[in-house]
Every structure is written in C-alpha cells, then in structure tokens.
C-alpha cells in the first residue's frame, strides 16, 4: 500500500498556498484539500507530479480534475457540514474525498464500473463515507433526492432536467455546460421553484456521456 509522506505533505501545502494566492478558494476548502493525499488517486508513475496544478489520465480513458478546478467548484458550491450533495462523475474519487472532508453527505454517480470500484476502494482506504452508484448521471439519484447541492464534474451538453428536478428549493448546482469546451454555470433554485442561472467562466472537462445501453 502507498502512503503519505512528509515530502508529499510539503508539496500539498505549497499547492494549497498557490491556489490561495490565485484566489481559487477560501481556507475552508483549501484546508480540506490539504487533508486529501491526491497522489494516492494516481498511478505511482505520476505520484511525484501529483501536487502540480495539472490533470492526469486515470483508468477508462478519463482524467482526474486539476486541483484548481476542484478548488473552484468546491468553493462555488458553498457547502456547509451536513448538506446533501450529489456529484455526477466520481472518476477516481478525488473531488468526492474533498467534499466529504468538508463534512457533507455525499452521493456520487459514475458510469465507468472500473472507476466506481477504484473510487470506492480509495474512499474506504481514507476512511471517508459516500453513497456511490454505478449508473447514468443524466438520471441523478432520485431515490435520495432532493439535494442541497449538485456538482457535475464532466462537460454536460445541456443541463439535465432530472438534475434540476432533484435540486432542493434554495439549492445550488454547479455544472460545466457545452460541447467541446464548456462554460461553468451556477444554477440556483428559488423558493418558488424557478431557476436563476449565472455563467461564471470557461471550463474544460471530459464529456458527460449518455448511458452505454
Ligand atoms: N470528479 C472527478 C472528475 C472525473 S472526470 C475528479 O475528482 O477528478 C469525469 C468523470 O465523469 C469520468 O470518470 C467519466 O466517466 C464520468 N462521466 C461521464 N459521463 C457520465 C455520466 N453520464 N454519468 C456519470 N458519470 C459520467
């Protein structure tokens, strides 16, 4: 089993300080990121680069998000401990680990079985709890709805209706929308059930794909 070391801890702290100086997130989010050993989510050949602000390939042709993207999305989500949060696109489980470290009740969906198995193993290894599902993120997790927050970590061609329906009134969804590259969009569900959208900037995620069936 691989482990955390003072060298990785030092590199991680530097990365978090860099993300803070660039204004990506508040101390609350960066402290959570500082507690998650990102290198363990990567193949050993990438360990020495894990604390650079870079995306890396993971299994099933997917990627781990840039740390700056994880910081930014986590900040935009405005979570507090105990909130129910739905994540679409678990991948290797890094963003999931950061959200659980922030104290939320996490529900996360992934369509690649290999990554569901890998991320389950990783979260367990780190002692972090999440409800994980192998399935299609376009459908969300209706059994556990409504959610205080929804975070989509793959590029959505459009905002899935099922996800809007599963957002609590007063809730926030952060979703990169677009084909190819995307715009990060914040959607708030108002107390009367209407939605307010705000475009926040450019994003570049792997695409959100339709069910394989
Ligand atoms: N949250 C991850 C990012 C993973 S990359 C991190 O912490 O790094 C995006 C992930 O979305 C990929 O693993 C991909 O398989 C997944 N994905 C793509 N389309 C999906 C869909 N329709 N439903 C669920 N997951 C999907």
**In the chain, what are the domain boundaries?**
54-203
Q: Is the CB of 203 under 6 A from ligand 1?
A: no
Q: Are 114 and 59 in contact (CB under 8 A)?
A: yes
pLDDT score of 212: 57
Taking Cα atoms as reference points, which of 71, 57, 62, 72 lies closest to residue 12?
Answer: 71
pLDDT at 108 over 60: yes
Atom of ligand 1 nearest to the CA of 211: 22
Mean pLDDT of the chain: 96
Active centre residues (catalytic): 65
pLDDT at 100 over 80: yes
- 82-86 average pLDDT score: 98
Q: Is the CB of 24 under 6 A from ligand 1?
A: no
Atom of ligand 1 nearest to the CA of 93: 7
Atom of ligand 1 nearest to the CA of 208: 19
Cis amide leading into 91 (omega within 30): no
To test the pocket of ligand 1, the residue of 90, 95, 128, 176 to mutate (highest count of ligand atoms within 8 Å of its CB) is 90
Looking at ligand 1, which residue's alpha carbon is closest to its atom 14? 89
Q: How confident is the model at residue 210 (pLDDT cuts 50, 70, 90)?
A: confident
Tokens of 183: 């715009």
Architecture of domain 54-203: 3-Layer(aba) Sandwich (3.40)
Give 140 Cα–ligand 1 centroid separation in angstroms: 13
Q: Is the CB of 37 under 6 A from ligand 1?
A: no
pLDDT score of 7: 95
Q: Is the CB of 71 under 6 A from ligand 1?
A: no
pLDDT at 76 over 80: yes
Q: Is the CB of 108 under 6 A from ligand 1?
A: no
pLDDT score of 2: 63
- 36-45 average pLDDT score: 96
Give residue for tokens 């860099």.
18
- 46-62 average pLDDT score: 94
């Amino acid at each position: 089993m691989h482990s955390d070391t003072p060298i990785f801890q030092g590199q991680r702290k530097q990365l978090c300080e860099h993300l803070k100086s660039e204004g990506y997130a508040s101390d609350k989010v960066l402290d959570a990121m500082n507690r998650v050993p990102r290198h363990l989510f990567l193949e050993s050949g990438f360990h020495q680069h894990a604390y650079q602000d870079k995306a890396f390939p993971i299994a099933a042709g997917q990627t781990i998000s840039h740390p700056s993207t994880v910081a930014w999305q986590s900040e935009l989500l405005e979570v507090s401990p105990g909130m129910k949060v739905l994540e679409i696109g678990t991948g290797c489980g890094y963003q999931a680990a950061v959200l659980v470290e922030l104290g939320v009740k996490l529900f996360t969906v992934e369509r690649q079985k290999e990554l569901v198995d890998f991320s389950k193993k990783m979260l367990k290894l780190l002692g972090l709890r999440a409800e994980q599902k192998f399935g299609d993120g376009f459908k969300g997790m209706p059994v556990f709805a409504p959610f205080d927050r929804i975070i989509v970590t793959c590029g959505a061609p459009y905002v899935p209706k099922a996800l809007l329906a599963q957002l609590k009134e007063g809730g926030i969804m952060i979703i990169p929308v677009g084909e190819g590259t995307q715009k990060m969009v914040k959607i708030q569900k108002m107390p009367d059930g209407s939605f307010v959208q705000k475009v926040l900037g450019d994003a570049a995620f792997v695409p959100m794909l339709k069910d394989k069936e």
